[in-house]
A and B are shown apart, each in its own frame.
Chain A
Amino acid sequence: MNGWTGQILRVNLTTKTSKIETFSEEFAHKWIGGRGFAAKILYDELKPGIDPLGPDNKLIVAVGPIAGIPAPNTGKTVVAAKSPITGGYGDGNLGTRITEHLRRCGYDALIVEGRADRPTMLYIEDDRVEFLPADEVWGKGTYATNDWIYAKYGKGVGVLNIGQGGENMVRYAVVRSLQGRAGGRPGMGAVMGSKRLKAIVAKGTKPIPQADPAGMKKLGHDDLKKVHEIDKQSGWSIQGTTGVLAWCNEVAALPVRNFRKTHHPDAWKVDGERLNNARIATYGCPNCTMRCGITIHDDAGRESELDYENIGLLGPNLEIFDLPQVGALNYMCDDYGIDTMSGGCVLSFYADAVDHGAVAGDIKFGEAEKFKKILTAIALRQGEVGNLLAEGSLRAARKIGQGSEAYAMQVKGLEVAAYNCKFIPGMALAFGVSPIGAHHKESWVITFELKQTSRESYGPEKAQKVIDLQRIRGGLFEYIVACRFPWIELGWGLENYPKYFNAVSGLNWTLDDFWTISDRVYAMIKLFWLREYPRTDRKLDYPPAVWFDPANVDTEGPIAGRHLEYDKYDGLLQHYYDIRGYDRRGIPTRATLERLGLVAEAKAAEKFGSLT
């Protein structure tokens, strides 16, 4: 089967066994790979109600048909499981050499089951699978773990690992890889930790099955050069993603002081210009054309790879306007293997709760050294505060009470990204309807809202735009598996991706062939959530309450006095459901599921939750 190896490796950590399973062309064409494979496998194989941190959860590592083949930004892998922080479907993607090595070992996906009896490293080399002791690095950070692995196997191998955050099952622990690469925000690292799986290492030498290997090689190499040239001409990677920080500050979209404020006069101190000036290195994923990993020295002289989300949520959101200090918090998150975004939001939530008297504590916004101590306590689950905040902002808020849930900046339990949607309804919707909890990767509509419509509008055009982008960002790029940056930031034509897909698969698809698949994957994920939350309600698709609060409005600036409005947001949400063919709870109707080829899955879901 060209384009796919046709094989999945299933390993069981309890029994230390492995087996190779095959999948059909029908399965491949229906789900493609990456998120598509993960959503389908987890839905079919997990019983509803299992403990995400128990042995019955499964970790999926899945690549796509163009992944690992030299072409623009194809060095990404999806990691997925039932999420410890949301209790629903969770996934993420990260740049890693695992992408190419897993495929060269002969697999399009890896399923990890059970729980090891001791810290374990899974080593896969072509047909060989070994369960090796990892006691030596258990308790160590991700950088030391990488070094240990490289010392054993050389730097060319593919690695996924966890730090103390994952080992201690911090609910937003991530999976880590090269330098600062991390993925799996909804606690995929915690799932690895719950299985005592410290690392996955892969080394593959087989060819990746392709219909036209010579054609794809030329196409891929030519396009790698072209995209790199476009980046040079545009200058995007001079400031990378952090270029947007200064803009967010100007248009009142920056997260400041746990999203209470939308701009700050000191934001310039941590903006893209300052980051570029402090740059000592730049890192990127395998096959990257526009490396976004701008690296600086943190306050301890360590290399800290920063991008907008890290800086936004560990900087202005904590009212820290010192790049080396932000770098230090970022380095610590990376080394502990904790999501920088949730980490930043949990820290800011706690400072806000203390500030409002909801809980007693010794922390104020701006106190970088104290935030570092709290971060360590979280990663090691030390003390009452460490354990409380390791659970995520929603669980922490429910325990603290005192109305603090209103300013736990999360949706479905997953903390929001660094865009303050106090008065950006479409982006608030994007957070609300993201299938894994609040994440900007699915859909980002702020420029559209400001430039093509207006902030004031809650019209159907915004819902349509969110869906259009979900089909591409959360759909195509997550199952074909490639980084979306060349398209979204440099304007690299979307039509190139079917070209790569056709060259490897031998098929003759156009972009239109992918949109139904995107909708199918989203609907599949919705059914997963329905089974876990049979009493689900549209309120799960609402953004944080504080954005609707008149007491929280800006008192000056471009959005002074403005806030989201409940009835209007609900109307916007209903537009989204109507376009998607979902019912009033946000669940796909039977007719929609039939149209998307999910009849069997719908029948399975109806044993646990109702369909309309």
Chain B
Amino acid sequence: MKITVKLIGPFVNQLGFSEKEMEVVPSSTVEGLLALVGIDKARPRIVTRNGRAVAPGEEVREGDRIVISPLYSGG
């Protein structure tokens, strides 16, 4: 199934893309997606699915917009 993944901040430079469509298997979880994209497990981050924060075990669905961001703290 197709989803859109958007990266925020330094993740863009570290992983070489800002936003792209990805093909993932049904029942993919957020955690699995992070590994697929190549996010460092040790790096604190917040993942949102269609604008709402999600837990690592949550499944992604067809057409989802997943945004992966480091934890900003308001400067």
Complex: how many Å from CA A451 to CA B48?
Answer: 9
Distance to closest chain A CB from B45 (angstroms) = 9
Q: Which of A246, A272, A292, A308 counts the most chain B CB atoms within 10 A?
A: A246
B75 and A489 form a contact (CB under 8 A): yes
A440 and B74 form a contact (CB under 8 A): yes
B51 and A558 form a contact (CB under 8 A): yes
Complex: how many Å from CA A239 to CA B14?
Answer: 12
5 closest A-B pairs by beta carbon, nearest first, are A558-B51, A444-B74, A235-B10, A243-B9, A488-B73
The chain A residue with its CB closest to the CB of B46 is: A451
- Give 7 CB contacts A-B under 8 Å: A235-B10, A236-B70, A243-B9, A246-B8, A247-B69, A251-B52, A447-B46
Please name all residues of chain A whose beta carbon is closer than 8 Å to the beta carbon of B51 when the two chains form the complex.
Answer: 250-252, 557-559
Q: Which of A244, A250, A307 contacts B6 (CB 8 A)?
A: A250
Known contacts A419-B74, A485-B75; is A558 also within 8 Å of B52 by CB? yes
For chain A, residues 460 to 495, give those with C-beta under 8 angstroms from any C-beta of chain B. 485, 488-489, 491
B9 and A491 form a contact (CB under 8 A): no
Known contacts A252-B51, A450-B46, A558-B51; is A236 also within 8 Å of B10 by CB? yes
Please name all residues of chain A whose beta carbon is closer than 8 Å to the beta carbon of B65 when the two chains form the complex.
Answer: 250
A247 and B13 form a contact (CB under 8 A): no
The chain A residue with its CB closest to the CB of B44 is: A491
Q: Is B50 an interface residue (CB 8 A)?
A: yes
Please name all residues of chain A whose beta carbon is closer than 8 Å to the beta carbon of B71 when the two chains form the complex.
Answer: 447
Q: Mark B28-57, 1 if CB is under 8 A from A, else 0.
A: 000000000000000110101011110000
B48 and A244 form a contact (CB under 8 A): no
The chain A residue with its CB closest to the CB of B54 is: A451
Known A247-B9, A447-B72; further 18 A-B contacts with Cβ < 8 A: A236-B9, A236-B70, A238-B10, A238-B13, A239-B12, A250-B8, A251-B48, A251-B51, A419-B74, A446-B74, A450-B46, A451-B46, A488-B75, A489-B72, A557-B51, A558-B48, A558-B51, A558-B52
Known contacts A450-B53, A451-B46, A491-B44; is A241 also within 8 Å of B75 by CB? yes
A235 and B46 form a contact (CB under 8 A): no
Q: Mark A226-250, 1 if CB is under 8 A from B, else 0.
A: 0000000011101101011011001
Which A residues lie at the B interface, using CB under 8 A?
A: 234-236, 238-239, 241, 243-244, 246-247, 250-252, 272-273, 292, 307-309, 419, 440-441, 444, 446-447, 450-451, 485, 488-489, 491, 557-559
Distance to closest chain B CB from A461 (angstroms) = 15
Complex: how many Å from CA A234 to CA B52?
Answer: 25
Please name all residues of chain B whose beta carbon is closer than 8 Å to the beta carbon of A272 when the two chains form the complex.
Answer: 9
B75 and A451 form a contact (CB under 8 A): no
Distance to closest chain A CB from B37 (angstroms) = 16
Q: Which of A235, A236, A451 contacts B53 (CB 8 A)?
A: A451
B10 and A243 form a contact (CB under 8 A): yes
B75 and A307 form a contact (CB under 8 A): yes
The chain B residue with its CB closest to the CB of A443 is: B74
B73 and A489 form a contact (CB under 8 A): yes
The chain A residue with its CB closest to the CB of B51 is: A558
A450 and B6 form a contact (CB under 8 A): no
Complex: how many Å from CA A241 to CA B10?
Answer: 11
Q: Which of A241, A273, A491, A557 contacts B12 (CB 8 A)?
A: A273
Complex: how many Å from CA A359 to CA B9?
Answer: 40
Complex: how many Å from CA A557 to CA B9?
Answer: 22
Known contacts A250-B67, A450-B53; is A444 also within 8 Å of B8 by CB? no
Distance to closest chain A CB from B47 (angstroms) = 9
Please name all residues of chain B whose beta carbon is closer than 8 Å to the beta carbon of A559 when the two chains form the complex.
Answer: 51
The chain A residue with its CB closest to the CB of B10 is: A235
Distance to closest chain B CB from A419 (angstroms) = 7
Please name all residues of chain B whose beta carbon is closer than 8 Å to the beta carbon of A309 when the two chains form the complex.
Answer: 75
B10 and A239 form a contact (CB under 8 A): yes
Distance to closest chain B CB from A45 (angstroms) = 32
A243 and B8 form a contact (CB under 8 A): yes
Q: Is B18 an interface residue (CB 8 A)?
A: yes
A243 and B70 form a contact (CB under 8 A): yes
Complex: how many Å from CA A97 to CA B10?
Answer: 30
Distance to closest chain A CB from B7 (angstroms) = 9
Please name all residues of chain B whose beta carbon is closer than 8 Å to the beta carbon of A451 when the two chains form the complex.
Answer: 46, 53
Complex: how many Å from CA A307 to CA B74?
Answer: 11
Please name all residues of chain B whose beta carbon is closer than 8 Å to the beta carbon of A488 when the two chains form the complex.
Answer: 73-75
Q: Which of A419, A491, A558 counts the most chain B CB atoms within 10 A?
A: A558
Complex: how many Å from CA A272 to CA B75?
Answer: 14
Complex: how many Å from CA A446 to CA B43?
Answer: 18
The chain B residue with its CB closest to the CB of A558 is: B51
Complex: how many Å from CA A308 to CA B8?
Answer: 14
